């Protein structure tokens, strides 16, 4: 049986890309050629005929090498933008507007800590908290699905789906920093360890879980799709 990886490597020459990416490209092309050859042999073709059929779609290996090199050098940033930054940032902005709407609904738009307290301590507001988490599940699903459609791999899809949690972490850090700089002799209630734990559970962990659960169904490829390219 021919060593297709060695054959492809010899015909393509140096691609001028990273060794790991070059190995990936060569393995993909070699696998395709091997599949064509195997199909031809099963249909009754001779070994020579099968090899000719496998190599026929590539009229110029030099031209193919130039195209691969150019695409792999220019593509990663564009692909990363399409599969990670665009869906991720869109979901983050959507989460910001949802958070503002929820804050207005409980009557306190500015104080995130009081918002957390209203959402968890008030029985009537627990419905808002639950609906908020459901919406975060939708954000996670949309972000991961968008990333998958753009060619992102499983890790990229998950990160795109989890993107809104960065907003939560930034808000908690900002509030903690602002509170610490006030030099008040009295420790704010929300900085007590038990309150910090509640902030973490309700304002970071719970929405992160909701986002991850929403993204989960889109981390695998549909059976009729091939694996996406690396983002």
For the stretch 82-136, pLDDT in tens is 888 899 999 999 998 888 877 776 554 444 455 455 444 555 567 778 888 999 9
Residue 42: the pLDDT is 85
Q: Could you report how far apart the first and last alpha carbons of the chain are, in Å?
A: 33
- Residue range of the domain that includes 15: 1-58
173 versus 142: the higher-pLDDT residue is 142
Residue 229: the pLDDT is 46
Domain count, the chain: 2
197 assigned to some structural domain: yes
Residue with tokens 């070059």: 22
67 assigned to some structural domain: no
- The mean pLDDT value for 208-222 works out to 91
Residue 139 has pLDDT above 90, yes or no: yes
Task: List, in order, residues 6 or more apart from 65 with CB less than 8 Å away.
Answer: 12, 13, 15
Residue 193: the pLDDT is 60
Residue 19: the pLDDT is 80
Residue 184: the pLDDT is 55
- Residue 76 phi/psi, 5-degree rounding, is -55, -45
229 assigned to some structural domain: no
* 51 and 91 part of one domain: no
Contact 40, 50 (CB under 8 A): yes
Average pLDDT of the chain is 78
Residue 78: the pLDDT is 66
* 92 and 16 part of one domain: no
Residue 14 has pLDDT above 90, yes or no: no
Residue 219 has pLDDT above 70, yes or no: yes
**Closest to 212 measured CA to CA, from 170, 169, 173, 154:** 154
**Closest to 143 measured CA to CA, from 170, 164, 168:** 164
Predicted TM-score (pTM) of this structure: 0.58
CB atoms within 10 A of CB 13: 11
């Amino acid at each position: 049986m021919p060593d297709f990886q060695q054959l492809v490597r010899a015909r393509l020459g140096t691609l001028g890309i990273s060794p790991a990416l070059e190995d990936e490209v060569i393995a993909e092309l070699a696998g395709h050629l091997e599949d064509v050859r195997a199909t031809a042999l099963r249909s009754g073709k001779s070994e020579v005929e099968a090899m000719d059929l496998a190599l026929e779609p590539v009229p110029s290996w030099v031209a193919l090498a130039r195209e691969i090199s150019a695409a792999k050098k220019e593509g990663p940033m564009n692909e990363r933008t399409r599969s990670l930054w665009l869906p991720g940032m869109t979901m983050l902005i959507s989460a910001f507007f949802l958070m503002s709407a929820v804050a207005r609904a409980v009557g306190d738009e500015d104080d995130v800590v009081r918002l957390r307290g209203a959402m968890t301590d008030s029985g009537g507001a627990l419905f808002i908290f639950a609906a908020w988490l459901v919406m975060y599940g939708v954000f996670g699903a949309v972000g991961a699905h968008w990333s998958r459609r753009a060619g992102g791999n499983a890790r990229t899809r998950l990160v795109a789906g989890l993107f809104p949690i960065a907003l939560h972490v930034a808000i908690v850090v900002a509030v903690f920093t602002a509170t610490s700089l006030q030099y008040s002799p009295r420790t704010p209630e929300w900085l007590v360890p038990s309150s910090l734990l509640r902030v973490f559970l309700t304002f970071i962990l719970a929405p992160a879980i909701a986002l991850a659960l929403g993204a989960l169904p889109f981390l695998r490829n549909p059976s009729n799709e091939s694996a996406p390219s690396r983002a």
